[in-house]
Structure 1
């Protein structure tokens, strides 16, 4: 394999580059937009259209709001499923960072077609726009869920893919569409595969904010699904750094690079760390509604982070303990006692 041009480690930045971020209004997307603004990029924030004109988490981002006033950023309200609008939004961009997706695994059991339309067709729309406009760089967001329960750990990028949920099946499909465009058209797409990202702004449908929210309102019982599955947790700002580095590093079209810490913790172990962070003594109670179908539960995800370090110069900087403390502090003034234990698909 040809050695990559590691622009990210040689001092190059995205300053003054025109960067479109799909899914800017979401959890990871908003952190990435803030990083891009800090780096001096000209950011086009593609957010899901709604009648209220809400920008999701970007409504609460002082740095993004200032960038709007300064002319460093713009908002594009739209829907990734609309090919014409995506085509128009991509025109003139130097980099497209594609994060827009439906991500909740439990809801994919209920509404799988919506996941196909957003995650697969939406990615196709982005790929086709990048191909037709000749955009120099596209980074597509994958997920560690595409591996299913792995045959061996740590997991490398060459591990086989297995769709154990409708969500993961659509992300596999999106990855394969990227692969096909890379091979068929030499579309300059990098497939970035984060493991379990967590941090401020994450939806309470995810396990860490679910646990911390219940503890912060003083619950004596923490309602959870299975606690034995293990995950490799990466802090949101570290994930955002991986996207920036992927945008700056020349690798062959279709290259797959995963972002993970190389550490895995069970949900039960996460609960124990959260107890230390919050001072809680709550006990776990199993909520059957939160249990995945037996064949759909992924038992362990553990990354081999070597490739990201070698190609991107990327390494995580925030420890799990410090990251959980940051999430708890962010959640503390925002938790609602009436909603903390509510199951959110």
Structure 2
């Protein structure tokens, strides 16, 4: 049994991974920026507070660390906070881990497939040169480069998740927004660009992959975490219309069309499956039904 520390544990992915690891018999502690930490094993801490994160690391003495804490919404308006959180916050964490002198087995750092930007290469492998098309992607790529300065001292593994969803994800994201509208039987929905396609995965598949990667000692490797299949927004709308039994009017709101929008993302998961074995494949329709019926 390992003692695992998860930053961003109260976020969408953190909650699912914590539950999965506890089922597997691991002890899980978490760091949250939330002002109302409800559990004894949850520490309220701002990763921009260098001394505070060092204190948490000294208290928990983790065997493994999963770093989710970040500004994870592409359209987040405060670019300064995005870069400071995603880059400086990560650096503070790594410095605290290196200085603590723990015998760490693995550190899993969540980057993003957004670092690939707009490219004609399909599918995207880990060898594709990054070309981020928005500030979020740039912040994640900068975080990766910074974190590589620590790979000679820390067992780091990088993951680049493509889009994923599930019950409990914020309706700021497009698939939960769609599900919410259909569950309310809303007559219309306003969306941004419609001509986009994404490699959507189920959060349960994603955390299964993360749990298995934690068992591998980090050597600076990068893994795409994805389904290997791209779906357009129209595919998701069609599925939900069948489930709900009605057609929804889709309107494009220019305010929702992002500058630097990545139009198409499909990843290759061959390297990931070679490392951890076959993924727990869950189709988009099954994921949307789970969300719709929750």
Return the TM-score normalized by structure 1.
0.81
CA contact (8 A) 1:178 1:254 kept: no
Counterparts of residues 75-224 of structure 1 (less than 5 Å): 75-91=42-58, 92-107=61-76, 110-134=77-101, 135-182=104-151, 185-224=152-191
Q: For residue 187 of structure 1, give the secondary structure of its aligned residue in structure 2.
A: coil
Whole-Å Cα distance in 2 between the matches of residues 21 and 282 of structure 1?
39
CA contact (8 A) 2:106 2:216 kept: no
Unaligned runs of 5+ in 2: none
RMSD value over aligned CA atoms? 1.5
1:310 paired residue number: 274
Whole-Å Cα distance in 2 between the matches of residues 254 and 90 of structure 1?
21
User: How far does residue 49 in structure 1 lie from its aligned partner after superposition?
Assistant: 3.6
Whole-Å Cα distance in 1 between the matches of residues 246 and 153 of structure 2?
53
Counterparts of residues 1-345 of structure 1 (less than 5 Å): 16-50=1-35, 53-54=36-37, 74-91=41-58, 92-107=61-76, 110-134=77-101, 135-182=104-151, 185-251=152-218, 253-293=219-259, 296-330=260-294
CA contact (8 A) 1:98 1:139 kept: yes
CA contact (8 A) 1:146 1:161 kept: yes
CA contact (8 A) 1:215 1:222 kept: no
Whole-Å Cα distance in 1 between the matches of residues 49 and 224 of structure 2?
28
Per-residue CA deviations over 1:254-276 (Å, capped at 9, x if unaligned) read 10011111100111222112212
Q: Rate the CA distance shift 1:314–1:189 in 2: closer, same or farther, 3 A.
A: farther
User: How far does residue 100 in structure 1 lie from its aligned partner after superposition?
Assistant: 0.4
Q: For residue 105 of structure 1, give the secondary structure of its aligned residue in structure 2.
A: coil
User: How far does residue 286 in structure 1 lie from its aligned partner after superposition?
Assistant: 0.7
Whole-Å Cα distance in 1 between the matches of residues 244 and 48 of structure 2?
41
Whole-Å Cα distance in 2 between the matches of residues 130 and 158 of structure 1?
28
Per-residue CA deviations over 1:227-249 (Å, capped at 9, x if unaligned) read 11110011111111111111101
